[in-house]
Amino acid sequence: MIVPMKRLTLVALKADEESILQALQRAGAVEVISRADVSEEKAGDEQLLMRVQRLESAAQLLKRYGEKPPMGPKPEISPEELFASVPESERLLERTEQLDQELVAVRAEIDKKENLIQTLLPWERLCARIEDIHATRSVRFAVGFLPLGGVEQVEEAGFAVEAFAGARETAALIACAATELEEMQHALNEAGFTEFAFPALKGTPQENIRACEGEIASLRTKEAETVAALEEVAKQRTLLLEGLDAATIEHDRSLSMAAVENTNAAFILEGWVRVDEEEKAQQAVASAAEVFSFETREPLEDETPPSAMKNKKLVEPFESIVTMYAYPSYRGIDATAVMAPFYFLFFGMMLSDSGYGLALLIGGLLFSKFMKPQGGMAKLARVITFGGLSALICGPFIGTFFGVNWNDMFHTDIFPLLFDPMVDVMPMMLLSCGLGLIHIFAGIIVKMYMCFRDGDPQSAIFDQLSWILLLTGLILIFALPQLKTIALVLVILGGGMLLLFSGRSKKNPFMRLGSGLGALYNITGYFSDILSYVRIFALGLVSGAMGMVFNLIGGMVYDAFGGLGVVGIILGCILAGAVLLVLHVFSLFINTLGAYAHCARLQFIEFFGKFYEADGRAFNPLRFNTRNVILRDK
């Protein structure tokens, strides 16, 4: 069912604002409504947001330096412990950022030195000190590179060249008398000279290169030290993650704080609270402040409260399937309870193998027990567990056990108890479609209920009940010809209602008949919906066939070693076992995915299409929203 909401108006002293919001966040029962003038992005404390982002990127950074965390559930701590970890995580954050900056700086320095070495390398054999190469009173120098053959050209022109041949160019130092400068420049241009400027350094190029190499060596040591320090810090990454959760909680609260209306001395908080949590919210406020006004009222017609679903524990996991489609409209209907039994049955029929069912059941239970998944993941795990149970039950009726025929296992001929999909194709297909018909009727009945509830009995009878009559009648004509009269009455009654009353809002009789015909045309839609349930049969067939073939392959592997005596039997067993394990895990995975997805599709398209109003919005109260730890209730 959809939990009724109440509109809350809370007025209290501004001095108590922080503590009241803290108490409300702990209770997790109130969704704060934003003041009209606060936009989502601007709201909230920027500094807190910054801290969340810094912690996030630090945690991301440390991921690279730490060991992979062991498999297992997230750590479980109390809110007090979480908030107590804040100063320590702050220290860790600063240390991480500092180390990261150091590392970046060291690496930049190494890059710089390596570039310098690259620059100086062509001049390694130049004996002159760099600071000495400059124009004197009578001599001019040119420093640069000459293409191949350029050196000879310049020498022929009569200038002194000191050349250091490289792979593609020649580094050259050319000297001339001050008076011949123009001729030299001309000759150099002819030879294709490109000028080079030494960086402002002292000493010979070689000395500089050696010095750089020495510095790089010590920088590398420093780099290694910093990385080691980061690895050390990474061991405490969980602490950083706790800090991240704490910061997120604080930031969430600041968002709500920004949404609150303020006067000089008081604040007004508008919000939604679940009817069943009203008490809890009020107590939370009372624990944090002495002076306050806590008033609730029913939502008005033009207000759209958020939707929260509440179901029995057995059905609750299937909410995850419903929300995957869309949240129900607040004034619509929560379809979880009606949907769950069908989902359960269809899943089992699609998987239709007790062995696979058993594997999912045990796997799902172990996963829930040891990994302690939270939220949507927990629900999904339970849906799969239930699906496994269903397949376990369906196996003896229409399926197999790990692809093995039950009869081969027990030397009987009574299995499968219902039909063998590979032999009794027609009955199995009719069973699938029949169940589909019941599913669709269930959807129509829910819609009828909604019509009655909303005070529109005409729609319930003429637009919904008429279809049940018409479809039942049509099927009876073919299935049980001896009841022909009853069937015909049903068809005429249902079809007549549709034809005459579908356009009951229209005055013009021809228009009215026209909409009636249009409504009758929908019969094609209903038939394609019913046919769509054939997929139950098809997927069951595929999982059965896959299991069978894989067993066949396993058998062939075993037979291949059959002639080798005892060794062959042992070897065959091991190899066939390994092959079977891999193949069946694959088959289990593919078929579970297929069953999960196709069951959901049958619910969404064929079932929800009949009645579901899906324009709801999830109830998102101010609460402790943690991603990295599980908060223990006190």
Partner 1 sequence: MPTESQSIFASLTPNDWGIIFTMLGVVFSAVLAGIGSAIGVGKAGQAAAGVVAEQPDRFGNCMVLQLLPGSQGIYGFAVAILILIFSGVLGGDTSALTLEKGLSYFTASLPVAFGGLLSALHQAKVAVSGIHMLAKRPDGFGNAMMFTLMVETYALLSLIISVFLVLFA
**Residues found near partner 1 in the complex (CB under 8 A):** 324-325, 422-423, 425, 429, 532, 534-535, 537-539, 541-542, 545-546, 548-549, 552, 590, 593-594, 597-598, 600-601, 604-605
Neighbours of 303 (CB within 10 A): 12
Q: What is the rounded CA–CA span in Å between residue 611 and residue 460?
A: 12
- In the complex, least distance from residue 556 CB atom to partner 1, rounded to whole angstroms: 10
Between 598 and 623, CB nearer to partner 1: 598
- In the complex, least distance from residue 482 CB atom to partner 1, rounded to whole angstroms: 28
3-class DSSP state of 424:
coil
Between 122 and 387, CB nearer to partner 1: 387
Between 36 and 423, CB nearer to partner 1: 423
Residue 575: Cβ-neighbour burial (10 angstroms; 0-12, 13-18, 19+): middle
Between 13 and 377, CB nearer to partner 1: 377
Between 99 and 600, CB nearer to partner 1: 600
- In the complex, least distance from residue 550 CB atom to partner 1, rounded to whole angstroms: 10
Give the pair of three-digit tokens for residue 569.
């039997």
Of 203, 199, 191, give the one whose Cα is nearest residue 163.
Answer: 191
Between 491 and 557, CB nearer to partner 1: 557
Please name the residue that has the structure tokens 């009215």.
512
Q: What is the rounded CA–CA span in Å between residue 519 and residue 516?
A: 5
Q: What is the rounded CA–CA span in Å between residue 378 and residue 365?
A: 11
Q: What is the DSSP string of 527-544?
A: HHHHHHTHHHHHHHHHHH
CA distances from 496 to 492, 513, 528 (A): 5, 11, 22
Q: What is the rounded CA–CA span in Å between residue 96 and residue 89?
A: 10
- In the complex, least distance from residue 44 CB atom to partner 1, rounded to whole angstroms: 20
- In the complex, least distance from residue 549 CB atom to partner 1, rounded to whole angstroms: 5
- In the complex, least distance from residue 305 CB atom to partner 1, rounded to whole angstroms: 21
Between 269 and 440, CB nearer to partner 1: 440
Please name the residue that has the structure tokens 């376990």.
392
Number of helical (H) and strand (E) elements in the chain, helices listed first: 23, 11
Q: At what angle do helices 484-501 and 466-479 cross, to 10 degrees?
A: 150
Give the total residue count for the chain.
634
Q: What is the rounded CA–CA span in Å between residue 405 and residue 396?
A: 9
Between 85 and 336, CB nearer to partner 1: 336
Question: How many CA atoms lie less than 13 Å away from 606 in the CB half-sphere?
Answer: 28
Which stretch of DSSP H or E encloses residue 30?
Answer: strand 30-32
Largest CA distance in the chain: 128
- In the complex, least distance from residue 535 CB atom to partner 1, rounded to whole angstroms: 5
Between 67 and 633, CB nearer to partner 1: 67
- In the complex, least distance from residue 374 CB atom to partner 1, rounded to whole angstroms: 15
- In the complex, least distance from residue 618 CB atom to partner 1, rounded to whole angstroms: 10
- In the complex, least distance from residue 605 CB atom to partner 1, rounded to whole angstroms: 8
Between 272 and 537, CB nearer to partner 1: 537
Give the pair of three-digit tokens for residue 615.
């324009």
Q: What is the rounded CA–CA span in Å between residue 307 and residue 331?
A: 9
- In the complex, least distance from residue 532 CB atom to partner 1, rounded to whole angstroms: 7
Between 385 and 464, CB nearer to partner 1: 385
Between 326 and 445, CB nearer to partner 1: 326
- In the complex, least distance from residue 588 CB atom to partner 1, rounded to whole angstroms: 13
- In the complex, least distance from residue 551 CB atom to partner 1, rounded to whole angstroms: 12
Between 16 and 606, CB nearer to partner 1: 606
How far separated are the first and last CA of the chain, in Å rounded?
28
- On whether the CB atoms of residues 32 and 269 are closer than 8 A, the answer is yes
Between 289 and 560, CB nearer to partner 1: 560
Q: What is the rounded CA–CA span in Å between residue 382 and residue 28?
A: 24
- In the complex, least distance from residue 538 CB atom to partner 1, rounded to whole angstroms: 5
Q: Which residues contact 32 (CB under 8 A, 6 or more apart)?
A: 256, 259, 260, 269, 270, 271, 622
Helices (H), 297-424: 319-325, 336-351, 354-371, 375-398, 406-410
Neighbours of 565 (CB within 10 A): 9
Between 74 and 253, CB nearer to partner 1: 74
For CA atoms 465, 467, 470, 475, give the dihedral sign: negative
Write out the E strands in 100-205: 139-147, 160-165, 169-177, 194-195
- In the complex, least distance from residue 220 CB atom to partner 1, rounded to whole angstroms: 30
User: Long-range contacts of range 283-287, CB-CB < 8 Å, 24 or more positions apart?
Assistant: 283/27, 284/23, 284/24, 284/26, 284/27, 284/29, 285/10, 285/12, 285/20, 285/23, 285/24, 287/23
